C-alpha cells in the first residue's frame, strides 16, 4: 500500500483521518498517526490557544507524522497559521478557501500542504497554487461541501484526468472496499471522517457517537445550502431548517436559527435535538464505536480482502 501519498507524508498506510470540528483533537490524531495513518487536528473549532495546547499534547504523545486541518473561513486563520509555524507542524490540510493564500508561506517553512476541494475546477486551481496533494471530496461527505453536488464516484475520475498532483479521495469511504474503489478511480490515498468521528478516541460527545452508530440510510441530508452547504443528521434542529427552507425563508432567518455554537452544542456537548450534527452519508454503514487501532487494522484487512476478491473475480 505504498503510494505517492505514503511517501509524501512519510506514513505507512495511505489513510488520512479527516480534520473535523469538535471530533478530532490531539487524542484522535495521535491514535491514527500511531496506527500508521495520518492524524489531523481539526482546527476549525479551536481558538488559537486551544490549537497550541492540542499540538503540544499531540507532539508529546507521538513521534509519527501528523497534521492540522484549517478551514480558511474563520477570522482567526492568520493566528492559527502562526501557531502552526511556531509549533513546527509538518503537514497542513486547508479547506473552504483559496489554496493560493497560505500554500507558499507554509511550504517556505518546509510544510507539506494539501487542499480539500469539491470540484475538478478547484482541483486545477490547487495544482496551480502548487499544493503537494489535493483532496477531492464528494457530495456524500459530512462537513462543508460544494454547490455542484458532485459525488465521489463522478468527481474522482474528472479530477484525475485534469491534474497530476497526488490525489486523495474523500466522501463515502468507511471500508476497505470503498478505499479500493477510490484507488480504482485514480486516488492514491483516502481521507476518512465519519468512521473516526465515531471512534473511541474522537472528542465527540458519546451521545453523538451513538447517533452515528444508529444512523440509517437517508438519515443525513445536504442542508443549509443558502448559507454554507453542510451534511446534517436528521433531528429537531434539522426539521426546523427544512421547515424554513420549505417556506422559502430568507438567509437572515436561517442564519438567526443557526445562531452561534450549534455544532458545539450537538457534536461536543451532546444535545441531540437542538445541536447541529455534521456527519457523512456513510454513517449508515458504521455499526460500533471502536478504538482507532481496531478501525485501522480492519480497514487494512478489508482492503486486502477486497483487492484479492476483485482480482480473482474478474
Q: Which residues bind a second copy (CB under 8 A)?
A: 1, 3, 119-121, 138-140, 146-154, 157-158, 160, 171-173, 175, 177-178, 180-186, 188, 217-218, 221-222, 246-248, 281-282, 284-285, 306-307, 310-311, 313-314
Closest CA to 102 of 7, 111, 55: 111
Q: Where are the alpha helices (DSSP H) in the chain?
A: 4-9, 26-34, 48-61, 77-86, 103-108, 120-129, 152-162, 176-184, 194-197, 206-214, 236-246, 251-258, 262-263, 292-313
Residue 170 cell numbers, joined = 474523500
Looking at beta carbons only, is 111 or 190 nearer to a second copy?
190
Q: Are strands 220-223 and 230-233 parallel, antiparallel or unpaired?
A: antiparallel
Nearest approach, Cβ of 112 to a second copy (angstroms)? 21
In the bound state with a second copy, the residue whose beta carbon lies nearer, of 8 and 51, is 8
221 Cβ contact partners less than 8 Å away, ≥ 6 residues apart: 231, 232, 234, 238
- For the bound state, the minimum distance from the C-beta of residue 274 to a second copy, rounded and expressed in Å, comes to 24
Contacts of residue 33, defined as CB under 8 A and 6 or more positions apart, other chains included, come to: 11, 39, 62, 64, 65, 66
Q: Which is nearer to a second copy, 80 or 182 (CB)?
A: 182
The residue among 97 and 157 lying less far from a second copy, judged by its C-beta, is 157
Min. distance of Cβ 259 from a second copy in angstroms? 23
Select 92 or 159, whichever has its Cβ closest to a second copy.
159
Could you tell me the smallest distance in angstroms from the CB atom of residue 9 to a second copy?
16
Task: State the minimum distance, in angstroms, from the CB of residue 25 to a second copy.
Answer: 27
Amino acid at each position: 500500500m505504498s503510494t505517492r501519498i505514503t511517501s509524501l507524508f512519510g506514513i505507512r498506510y495511505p489513510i488520512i483521518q479527516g480534520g473535523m470540528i469538535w471530533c478530532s483533537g490531539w487524542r484522535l490524531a495521535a491514535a491514527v498517526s500511531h496506527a500508521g495513518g495520518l492524524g489531523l487536528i481539526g482546527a476549525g473549532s479551536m481558538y488559537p490557544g486551544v490549537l497550541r495546547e492540542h499540538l503540544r499534547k499531540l507532539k508529546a504523545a507521538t513521534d509519527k507524522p501528523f497534521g492540522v486541518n484549517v478551514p480558511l473561513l474563520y477570522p482567526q486563520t492568520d493566528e492559527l497559521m502562526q501557531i502552526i509555524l511556531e509549533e513546527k507542524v509538518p503537514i497542513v490540510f486547508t479547506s473552504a478557501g483559496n489554496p493560493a493564500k497560505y500554500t507558499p508561506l507554509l511550504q517556505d517553512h518546509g510544510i507539506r500542504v494539501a487542499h480539500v476541494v469539491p470540484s475538478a475546477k478547484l482541483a486545477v486551481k490547487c495544482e496551480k497554487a502548487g499544493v503537494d496533494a489535493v483532496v477531492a471530496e464528494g457530495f456524500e461527505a459530512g462537513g462543508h461541501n460544494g454547490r455542484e453536488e458532485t459525488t465521489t464516484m463522478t468527481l474522482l475520475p474528472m479530477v484525475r484526468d485534469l491534474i497530476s498532483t497526488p490525489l486523495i479521495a474523500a466522501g463515502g469511504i468507511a471500508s476497505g472496499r470503498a478505499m479500493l474503489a477510490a484507488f480504482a478511480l485514480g486516488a492514491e490515498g483516502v481521507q476518512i471522517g465519519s468512521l473516526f468521528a465515531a471512534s473511541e478516541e474522537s472528542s465527540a460527545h458519546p451521545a453523538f457517537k451513538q447517533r452515528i452508530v444508529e444512523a440509517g440510510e437517508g438519515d443525513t441530508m445536504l442542508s443549509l445550502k443558502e448559507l454554507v452547504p453542510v451534511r446534517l443528521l436528521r433531528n429537531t434542529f434539522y426539521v426546523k431548517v427544512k421547515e424554513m427552507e420549505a417556506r422559502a425563508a430568507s438567509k437572515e432567518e436561517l442564519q438567526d436559527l443557526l445562531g452561534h455554537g450549534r455544532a458545539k452544542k450537538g457534536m461536543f456537548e451532546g444535545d441531540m435535538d437542538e445541536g447541529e450534527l455534521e456527519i457523512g452519508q456513510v454513517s449508515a454503514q458504521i455499526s460500533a464505536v471502536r478504538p482507532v487501532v481496531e478501525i485501522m487494522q480492519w480497514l487494512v484487512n478489508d482492503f486486502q480482502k477486497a483487492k484479492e476478491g476483485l482480482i480473482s473475480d474478474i
